[in-house]
């Protein structure tokens, strides 16, 4: 059979064009996938970079807080304990002075008793600030109850605390992070929010255990960079990381603050 040469040329041209079309399509597709993959990778690198930056910032906050805590403890020890023991020591040496009258001896021993009592009370306070004994002995629930009553006793703020959870003694280390988070949130509510009401509640749902925290204070703009300069919220962030938990903070100016900690 003989094929018409004109017809044959047409077929070859069609095949040629189709092949070129598919080659161009393949090149376009390859280029498209190459560039979109490159873009995805670039985005992933940027995300990783941000994460590393965030972790670095949190680490820095932890270190600075530790140093500040050390400075504060050193200051407390120096001002509230050493200075008092110093005067106790002076008074004790005075007792060795010959020919002291009974009145003088009484005055000096009175001083010693008063100063040692103050030094003792200060030691208790410093230790309490480092690790509240109630928390240490009776756990998170009792620790928070005490924390709330300390805030309530100031009369400036009323804390409503509800708890439907059991805290296990084996999780003491983790619970201390939760305690410190609440301590910082309450300090911020009083210091910055000027709140008159605070609520703290612990409960459980199908997702897990959670703590809800609110205050009725002045609130703040979370996105405003000037609210990112403190250490308190950064420390809360690293405690949340330690706990493998999630924290959502919601606040608007004039609307107080609402925090949800899933842990
Ligand atoms: N409950 C709140 N009500 C109003 N503003 C708040 C509240 N909590 C935080 N803020 C705002 O967020 C900022 C950051 O808080 P953060 O605890 O990190 O730092 P800080 O309290 O200023 O300093 P630090 O905790 O290091 O002593 C605060 O300066 C404040 O402006
Ligand atoms: Mg703070």
Q: How far apart are CA 15 and CA 55, in angstroms?
A: 59
The reported pLDDT for the residue numbered 154 is: 83
The per-residue pLDDT for range 59-79, each reduced to its tens digit, is 888 898 889 889 889 888 988
Protein residue closest via CA to atom 11 of ligand 1: 227
Regarding the beta carbon of 143 and ligand 1, being less than 6 Å apart is answered no
CATH number for 131-262 (one of 3.40.50.2000, 3.30.200.20, 3.90.1640.30, 3.30.565.10): it is: 3.30.565.10
Among the bound ligands, name the one nearest to the CA of residue 194.
Answer: 1
**Would the CB of 230 count as within 6 Å of ligand 1?**
yes
pLDDT at 3 over 80: no
Ligand nearest to the backbone CA of 186 = 1
Task: Dump pLDDT digits (tens) for 25-55.
Answer: 999 999 999 999 999 999 999 999 999 998 8
Higher per-residue confidence, 97 vs 1: 97
* Residue-wise pLDDT tens digits, 114-166: 999 999 999 998 988 888 889 989 999 999 999 999 999 888 899 999 999 99
Q: Where are the domains of the chain?
A: 5-128, 131-262
Sheet (strand 246-251) strand order: 158-163, 197-204, 209-215, 257-262, 246-251
pLDDT digits (tens, 9 = 90+) for 182-237: 999 999 999 999 999 999 999 999 989 999 999 999 999 999 988 888 888 988 99
For the chain, the C-alpha Rg in angstroms (whole number) is 34
Confidence label for 249 from pLDDT (cuts 50, 70 and 90)? very high
Please, what is the Cα angle at 261 between 260 and 263, to 5 degrees? 150
Mean pLDDT of the 101-116 span: 93
* CA distances from residue 27 to 31, 38, 166 in whole angstroms, order as listed: 6, 16, 63
Looking up tokens 């842990």 gives 263
Instruction: Return the pLDDT at 85.
Output: 93
List the structure tokens of 240: 């949340």
């Amino acid at each position: 059979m003989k094929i018409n040469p004109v017809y044959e040329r047409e077929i070859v041209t069609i095949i040629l064009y189709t092949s070129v079309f598919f080659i161009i399509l393949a090149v376009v597709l390859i280029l498209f996938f190459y560039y979109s993959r490159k873009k995805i990778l670039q985005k992933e690198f940027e995300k990783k970079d941000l994460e590393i930056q965030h972790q670095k910032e949190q680490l820095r906050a932890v270190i600075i807080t530790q140093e500040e805590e050390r400075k504060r403890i050193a200051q407390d020890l120096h001002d509230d304990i050493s200075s008092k023991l110093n005067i106790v020591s002076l008074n004790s040496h005075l007792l060795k002075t010959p020919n002291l009258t009974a009145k003088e001896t009484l005055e000096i021993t009175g001083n010693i008793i008063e100063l040692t009592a103050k030094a003792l009370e200060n030691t208790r306070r410093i230790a309490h600030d480092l690790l509240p004994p109630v928390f240490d002995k009776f756990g998170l629930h009792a620790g928070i109850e005490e924390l709330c009553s300390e805030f309530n006793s100031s009369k400036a703020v009323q804390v409503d605390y509800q708890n439907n959870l059991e805290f296990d003694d084996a999780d003491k280390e983790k619970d201390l992070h939760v305690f410190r988070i609440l301590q910082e949130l309450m300090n911020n509510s009083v210091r910055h929010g000027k709140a008159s009401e605070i609520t703290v509640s612990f409960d459980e749902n199908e997702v897990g255990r959670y703590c809800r925290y609110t205050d009725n204070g002045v609130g703040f703009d979370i996105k405003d960079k000037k609210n990112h300069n403190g250490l308190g919220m950064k420390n809360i962030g690293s405690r949340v990381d330690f706990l493998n938990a999630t924290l959502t903070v919601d606040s608007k100016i004039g609307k107080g603050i609402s925090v949800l900690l899933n842990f």
